[in-house]
Each structure stands twice: as structure tokens, then as C-alpha cells.
Amino acid sequence: SQKIEQNSEALNIQEGKTATLTCNYTNYSPAYLQWYRQDPGRGPVFLLLIRENEKEKRKERLKVTFDTTLKQSLFHITASQPADSATYLCALGVTGGGNKLTFGTGTQLKVEL
Amino acid sequence: NAGVTQTPKFQVLKTGQSMTLQCAQDMNHEYMSWYRQDPGMGLRLIHYSVGAGITDQGEVPNGYNVSRSTTEDFPLRLLSAAPSQTSVYFCASYLRAGEAFFGQGTRLTVV
């Protein structure tokens, strides 16, 4: 069956360090993968999209990699700040049929001073 | 430009009652979806629409109905509420293979 796995344990890091979050999937052939940020009591907010033919995408302090052979995406936040503390969700999309997104359960990141 | 607006924000229902969760977007997006979010389960797709007049089922459609008479609106109807439908519901609209814009969510409790 199709499965998306994100580390369910919270990730605690010190301010200024690089946070790395993992998204693994099985039995999927996604056309693209997205990362979202979700704060308590709020809806997810889009961060980055990477397509199956792309290896890496960057946006300011954010970097996403996508390895379709390993079936894995890594999400990096460099020079992390306490304001980066949130839950981060990965989502896989397939073309056609409404471009439906399938989400992982998310990883909670806490950046400490 | 308000984005995606969901109403109400909170709702308590008794088992067996029906209600409609409202969702409206002002971005002229073709695609709209309803998700529910439960602890440890992530976001799960209930129903989705690829345009006005076209809807289809997602992963967990039982107990829910949708319709899409206009591009802007995509209401979700609970026919006969059950405690298992206690959840946080999110509506999203998006472009093809692009970022999804989510509403603020509706926290529903069925007692």
C-alpha cells in the first residue's frame, strides 16, 4: 500500500544550526513533492515544490532535495531561528485526476535559544 | 484578496445532526479539496473538485457530500454526524500541480 513517512518524533535543535527533516515514501510515483509549514490552530502554508526531474530547490534559507531512486526528500532550514518552530508536512502529488495531494503526518520542529 | 475562507471556525454537533461547512475562494482556482486532520493521521482527502460541476471522492468520503455549483464555493455537508467525524476540517484551493492555499480550518466536535 502507499505510504508516506515523516519522523513522528519532534526535532529539537539550537538556534543557528541547520534543521534537516526527512520524508520517505513507498509505492508512489509522484510527479512532484511539496513541503508545508503548519502552526498550531492554523492551516498549512506552502513553502516549496520540487518536481520529479529536479534534484534540488532553494528558497532563501530553505532547501529541498528529491531522490526518486531512494524515494526520499530532505528539507533543510539553515541558520534556524525560534520563529521556524512549527510542524512541517510533506505532500506528494500526481498529475491528472485533480492533482490530488497525499500528506505525511508531519514533523514538529522546535528551535531553542 | 481574502484567499480561502472557511466558516464556521468551531462547531459542536449532536450525533445524527446535519450541517454544512462553508468554503469560498477568491483566486479563481479550478481545483478545490476538503481534508480532515486527525492526530497521528495527517491530512486525509475527503472530496475534491476539478471545476464547477465536477466532484469526486477522495480517501475518506463516507458520511460527506459535496457540490460545486460555482468556481468560488465548495461546501461540505455532513449528512448525519457521528463521533468519528470529530476532527479539524480544512478546505484548500490550488492551481494545477501548484501550491495549495488552505483555509483556517473548522474544528468540529460531535457529541
Most confident of A1-10, A13-22, A91-100: A13-22
pLDDT tens column, A11-54: 999 999 999 999 999 988 888 999 999 999 999 999 999 999 99
Report the SS3 class of residue B42.
strand
* CB–CB contact B100 A46 (8 Å): yes
- Asked if residue B8 has a cis previous peptide bond (ω within 30° of 0), the answer is yes
Give the pLDDT of residue A29: 85
Q: Give me the residue from B31, B33, B97 closest to A95, CB to CB.
A: B97
B79: region left, alpha or beta (phi > 0 left; psi from -120 to 50 alpha)? alpha
Give the pLDDT of residue A6: 95
- B94 near A CB under 8 A: yes
- Does residue A98 surpass a pLDDT of 80? no
A32 to chain B: closest CA residue: B97
Chain B closest CA to A7's CA: distance in Å? 11
